[in-house]
Amino acid sequence: MHNSSSLWPRCVRTGAIVLLAFGIISCNSSSKAPARPVGAFRDAAAETGLNFVHRDGGTGERYMPEMVGAGVALLDYDNDGDLDVFLVQGGNFQPGQLKDDGPSSRPALFRNDLKVNSDGTRSLHFTDVSQRSGIGYLGYGMGVIAGDYDSDGKPDLLVTTLGGNHLLHNQGNGTFQDVTAASGLAGEDAWGTSASWVDIDRDGRPDLFTCSYLVWSFAIHKTCTSRGGGKDYCGPHAFTPARSHLYRNLGDGHFQDISLSSGISTKAGAALGVVAGDFSGDGWPDLLVANDGMENHLWVNRRNRTFAEEALERGLAYNAEGEPAANMGVIAADFANRGLQDIFITHLMSEHATYYRNLGNGQFEDGTAAAGLDAPTRPFTGFGTAAIDFDNDGWLDIFAANGEVRTIEEQVRNKVRVPMRQRAFLFRNRGPAKGFDEVQTGQFLKQEEVGRGVASGDLDNDGKMDLVITNNGGPVRLLLNQTAGTAAWLGARVLLAKAPGSPPLDALGAIVRLERPGEPPQTRAVATDGSYLSSGDPRVLFGLGNSTTAARLVVTWPDGTREAWDNLPAGRYHQLLRGTGHTPDAAR
Amino acid sequence: MPPRLIKGLLASLVAGGILLAALSWWWAQPAVAPPDLSALEGSSRQHIEEEQRASRSITRSITASRTEKAAAWGRLGEIYMVYVFRAAAMEAFRVASTLNPADFRWHYLYAEALDDLGETARSAPAMADALTAMQHDERVRTADRIAALCFLGSVALRLNRPADARRTLQLALDLDPAQPFALFSLGQLAARENDPKAAIDYFRQAMQRMPGRREILIPLADQYRRLGDTAQAAQIAQGLKAEGTAQPLSWPDPIRVSLNDLNHSGSRQARLGLDLLSQGRWRPAALHYGAAVAAEPNNALHRARYARILIALDMLDEARSELAKAHQLAPENEETRELHTLVLAMSPQTFDEALSTAATWHREKPESLEALRSLAEVQFRTAHFEEALATLQQVATREPAETDWHSSRARVLAALGRYREARQELATGLRASPNDPTLKLNYARVLACSNAAEGRDGKLALQLSRDLMALQKTAIRMESLAVALAETGQFEESRRLIAEVITIVGDDAQTSMVRRLNGELRAFEAKQPYRERWLFEDRK
């Protein structure tokens, strides 16, 4: 991104409109700085044994759920210190045929058998443990979110489908048990999409928010027409938006549906993405819901298990053009290292992705163009997205998987299979003054697919963020971060125990601040939510650039209390268990 | 060697050289890879192939000038552009603008083609070239210059070049001081630069040309919030949440619009028809759908939709004929089946056939909600009201979140003279979906026009109609307001309003609507409210 105002005077030609306009362009075109060579991501799915193909079940009827895709979760289900991969599956998609028809209609669980060799190199390999996990057919799957709902120290899974949720309890022996009915989550017969574990009442137990997309069934299926006159998928406006759900975790393995009493289900929305965070600035977790083709919903926590919808009032409902865009994937992250969570939302082709800047007073503004993200994101229909510091320079970058939702006529004419393909994008953050630059190196960033889910995490524990991407009706991709360079890093798993001696769980909702002398602080949220239909690494990872000096981490726990750890060496992950640090005000 | 032979040899050498030079020249002509047309409908493919042949005959001609060749490539680019062969269009315009840089049109369209492809940064220099060429071209209209400047302003905004955007947009305002896109964009720039007062000023100016546009109201409300005036922000934002699909604010682009007629495809005709339908203009829509069917005779969807329009225009025989062909093409298509049963239910002679056809469909496809809805519709139209209510109850049980069945049930109840229940049905529906405009409209209609007093409430009808009008002014909403005004005794106002609606819809509306509007006008002229048994089938 280049600010052209200083270049302008050189270009001005007196008087004529024409030359003025010409000057604008020619000067700017020539002023583009050469891109700094950066490393790349390499797809290592096949070579590491992560073999999975999503089945959209498409028959040519263009049933809308076929093109929504499915998510992926990164979780350490066996507590061996590395991230395993759970992949949601679609399956057959015809009236009366939504049923188990073998392994290709069931989700898959891959165990990470990472080996760190004596020379420090890593061998990453995945073993398909789907069958022994006990996870069977769950219906036509959509999203997934990992979280330890029963505080037993083992991450569980919540899977959303076209016809309701499935809560899969991690039994600690490599198997999962479907406890949906017993938990009280079985009543919801909605088209579920993304979800979030969020402790809305600060009682130490993660509550559950599930997005519902549209009221849809085979009976009310509609077909729309492509530009070429063929059958095509309809947009969300062809159907009635659904109402999302909020469940209170009662702590005894049961959930109470508080959708109505909390206010959440008072407003319908075509919800595809959700991210929790303190967006109002009062220390309590709020929920930002990305709605497809309509205004977003910001549910502000009123601290009594009720929420008020304030997206319009806080500048998050619409983009700067006043348009209710097709909001899909959503992430919240401190992109400007100001200690505030900004928002990034992916959108439909010809709309731009939106970067909402947090103004610090509970207000947001659309800062997309100023961040250099307007024109470069318009050619893409984005879904899953991730805030990752891929080059560990201390600034969070943006990745998104893209793929159209309607057929691309040119691809139809070129006889492309699944003609909705687009390449992914990666934007490098050069700091608030310079904004974002697109990085186009690496084969993967040239490859066109129908990208949907994205989960970010450090799969080989090398301190570089990797990505897992799901493709609609296509194979999963494992993008190993191959970025060259010697940038230092520091990671942490942030844990709290329900009671002394009880197993610790990831402190979802905690904020971790990295402090180093002479460097801007960085903050990261402990979260698995955000993106689209997917669930990411709950650990936090900080890029330290060229500095390898020990750092201080200050954790703000979900209940608002703070705790610090000093002199943490770079180049490794630290476990920050609540109660083992000191108060931040104490001397370092 | 005899001199004659030498001469002959020399002549042959010269001729060969000329031939060789001509061949090299011919091969050196710029090439644009022709797109694959195999997936196109026949008439479109034929059209493009004809254009390709015509273009080739000029671009490969030894005698044609560069200007003529540029025009041939440009024309081909236009054809590719309207049929959405973006890459081929861009290449053709690139060649045309290279061959004849003096013609602004090829630079202009090259810029737009690049932007269509997402090549935003590359599109700007091309549009700047267009502006240069425009300087010396008498054909150029002010609107073309404004469009070019707005395009550059938009590009500069998207590329985050605020100073360039400001200068270009100001130049557009020099040509048209009230150009709304330029004003709106300058407002956006001011907002970006943390100058809410200036932003508000620009947005308000833009609103003068485009009043009520939510795309302006939303950022305007945001700027008041920046100033801390939350009351003003809330006032502006009021009503924004209810409905309305936003269209990005843009600028008139006469050059691009002039290309539209080059597209002869059935799908374009259908799109044009659809646009007209959304404006309530059924007769011209029928012409476009007729053209769509002619261009693409094997497209069952076009035929079914054409038939739907013919039904609305009371052209039932023609509709039957179209539906029979559509059914042949796609026997399983639910839209065709629905329309087929509907058309049977519109003539008393075929009532029995309508009932048996709908029942058979439902029996064959018990899972189909369309079949169930169609059965209810046929039962209603053939005066089997109690059966219709029972069928609609099944619809409600299966899809409680849908709202249409409330209106359908209320209509049946009204037909049975149970107006109080009809009111309750709509009120219940509206409580569940308070922002549903169709429910609101139908409720207002019942409250204003019911035959029995128990169904009427003029004040509430007036309030609902005004709510709808505040969101969006349409002919049907104006009509709703008119009948509500009449119900509250404001006959002069209602007469004036309904006369305006009649002028707006002209003879293009559905036949039943035209009939009803004229009936309403007669009633209001006689200072009487309008009464009906309430059939709002044309209000969906």
Lowest-confidence pick of B274-278, B382-386, B466-470: B274-278
Q: Are B315 and B331 in contact (CB under 8 A)?
A: no
Q: In chain B, what residues touch A227 (CB-CB under 8 Å)?
A: 84, 267
Which of these, A301, A313, A280, lies nearest to B229 by C-alpha position? A313
Specify the pLDDT at position B414.
87
Mean pLDDT confidence for B52-57? 94
CB contact under 8 A, B148 and A312: no
Q: What is the mean pLDDT of chain B?
A: 87
Specify the pLDDT at position A54.
96
B398 touches chain A (CB under 8 A): yes
CB contact under 8 A, B191 and A4: no
A570's tokens: 């770079």
Residue whose structure tokens are 């204003």:
B448
Specify the pLDDT at position B10.
79
The beta-carbon neighbor of A369 closest among B157, B370, B399 is B157
The beta-carbon neighbor of A370 closest among B148, B192, B401 is B192
- The pTM for the full model equals 0.77
Could you tell me which residues are beta bridge partners of residue A168?
Answer: A157, A178
Q: Which residue of A has its CA nearest to B80?
A: A410
The beta-carbon neighbor of A369 closest among B36, B121, B160 is B160
B304 touches chain A (CB under 8 A): no
Count of all residues that appear for chain B in the document = 540
CA distance B449 to B530: 6
Q: Which residue of B has its CA nearest to A61?
A: B333
Lowest-confidence pick of A245-249, A454-458, B280-284, B488-492: B280-284
Specify the pLDDT at position A229.
61
Q: If you ran DSSP here, which 8-state letter would residue A59 be given?
A: -
Residue-wise pLDDT tens for chain A (588 aa)? 333 333 223 333 323 344 344 343 333 333 333 343 345 788 999 999 999 999 999 888 889 999 999 999 999 999 999 999 999 999 988 887 888 988 999 999 999 999 999 888 899 999 999 999 999 999 999 999 999 999 999 999 999 999 889 999 999 999 999 999 999 998 767 899 999 999 999 999 999 999 999 988 887 787 777 666 667 888 898 888 999 999 999 999 999 999 999 999 989 999 999 999 999 999 999 999 999 999 999 999 999 999 999 999 899 999 988 888 899 999 999 999 999 999 999 999 888 999 999 999 899 999 999 999 999 999 999 999 999 999 999 999 999 999 998 888 778 767 777 788 999 999 999 999 999 999 877 777 788 999 999 999 999 999 999 999 999 999 999 999 988 877 899 999 999 998 888 899 999 999 999 999 888 899 999 999 999 999 999 999 999 998 888 899 999 999 999 999 999 999 999 999 999 999 987 444
Specify the pLDDT at position A369.
93
The beta-carbon neighbor of A22 closest among B132, B163, B219 is B132
Query: Is the model's pLDDT at B213 over the cut of 80?
Result: yes
CB contact under 8 A, B158 and A374: yes
B298 touches chain A (CB under 8 A): no
For A509, list phi and psi in degrees, rounded to 5: 100, -15
Name the pLDDT band for B239 (thresholds 50, 70, 90).
Answer: low
Rounded to the nearest angstrom, the minimum Cα separation between A3 and chain B is 6
Mean pLDDT confidence for B35-53? 85
Specify the pLDDT at position A228.
60
For B391, list phi and psi in degrees, rounded to 5: -65, -40
Sign of CA dihedral B326, B328, B333, B339: positive
Mean pLDDT confidence for B425-444? 88
Q: Which residue of B has its CA nearest to A218?
A: B368
Q: In chain A, what residues touch B230 (CB-CB under 8 Å)?
A: 313
Specify the pLDDT at position A324.
82
CB contact under 8 A, A413 and B163: no
Q: Which residue of B has its CA nearest to A296?
A: B241
Helix (H, G, I), strand (E, B) or coil at B202: helix
Could you tell me which residues are beta bridge partners of residue A169?
Answer: A177
Q: Are B345 and B369 in contact (CB under 8 A)?
A: no
Q: Which of A14, A18, A212, A309 to mutate to test the interface with B (most CBs of B within 10 A)?
A: A18
Specify the pLDDT at position B534.
57
| Per-residue burial over B106-120, b = 16 or more CB atoms within 10 Å of its CB, e = otherwise | bbbbbbbbbbbebbb
The beta-carbon neighbor of B171 closest among A20, A369, A379 is A20
CB contact under 8 A, B132 and A218: no
Could you give the percent of chain B with pLDDT greater than 70?
A: 94
Q: Are B299 and B291 in contact (CB under 8 A)?
A: no
Specify the pLDDT at position A5.
32
Specify the pLDDT at position B1.
67
Q: Could you write out the DSSP letters of every residue in A331-354? A: EEE-TTSSS--EEEE---TTSPPE
Name the pLDDT band for B469 (thresholds 50, 70, 90).
Answer: confident
B123's tokens: 């599109």
Count how many Cα atoms sit within 13 Å of the Cα of residue A508 in the half-sphere of its side chain: 31
Q: Identify the burial level of B350 via C-beta atoms within 10 angstroms of its C-beta, where 0-12 means exposed, 13-18 middle and 19 or more buried.
A: middle
Mean pLDDT confidence for B263-283? 81
CB contact under 8 A, B39 and A412: yes
Q: In chain A, what residues touch B214 (CB-CB under 8 Å)?
A: 322
Rounded to the nearest angstrom, the minimum Cα separation between B171 and chain A is 7
Q: In chain A, what residues touch B134 (CB-CB under 8 Å)?
A: 18
Helix (H, G, I), strand (E, B) or coil at A534: coil
- Lateral strand order in the sheet of A397-402: A382-388, A397-402, A425-429, A436-439
Q: In chain B, what residues touch A410 (CB-CB under 8 Å)?
A: 35, 84-87
B218's tokens: 């939303």
- The H or E element containing residue B312 is helix B300-312
B155 touches chain A (CB under 8 A): yes
Specify the pLDDT at position A26.
38
ipTM of predicted complex: 0.77
Rounded to the nearest angstrom, the minimum Cα separation between A155 and chain B is 35
CB contact under 8 A, B41 and A237: no
CA distance B195 to B200: 9
Which of these, B309, B318, B307, B388, lies nearest to B355 by C-alpha position? B388
Chains A, B: CB contacts within 8 A come to 198
A331's tokens: 């992430």
Q: In chain B, what residues touch A1 (CB-CB under 8 Å)?
A: 160
CB contact under 8 A, A217 and B369: yes
The beta-carbon neighbor of A378 closest among B118, B188, B266 is B118
B113 touches chain A (CB under 8 A): no
Residue whose structure tokens are 């270049």:
A7
Could you tell me which residues are beta bridge partners of residue A540?
Answer: A492
B145 touches chain A (CB under 8 A): yes
Lowest-confidence pick of A241-250, A439-448, B123-132, B457-466: A439-448
Q: Which residue of B has its CA nearest to A32?
A: B121
CB contact under 8 A, A229 and B191: no
Specify the pLDDT at position A10.
31
Q: Are B258 and B144 in contact (CB under 8 A)?
A: no
In A431-577 the beta strands, taken as DSSP E runs, fall at 436-439, 448-449, 451-457, 466-471, 477-481, 488-497, 504-506, 511-515, 522-525, 540-545, 551-556, 562-568, 573-577
A233's tokens: 């998928």
Residue whose structure tokens are 């037993």:
A152
Query: Is the model's pLDDT at B316 over the cut of 90?
Result: no
Q: Could you write out the DSSP letters of every residue in A42-56? A: EE-TTTTT---B---
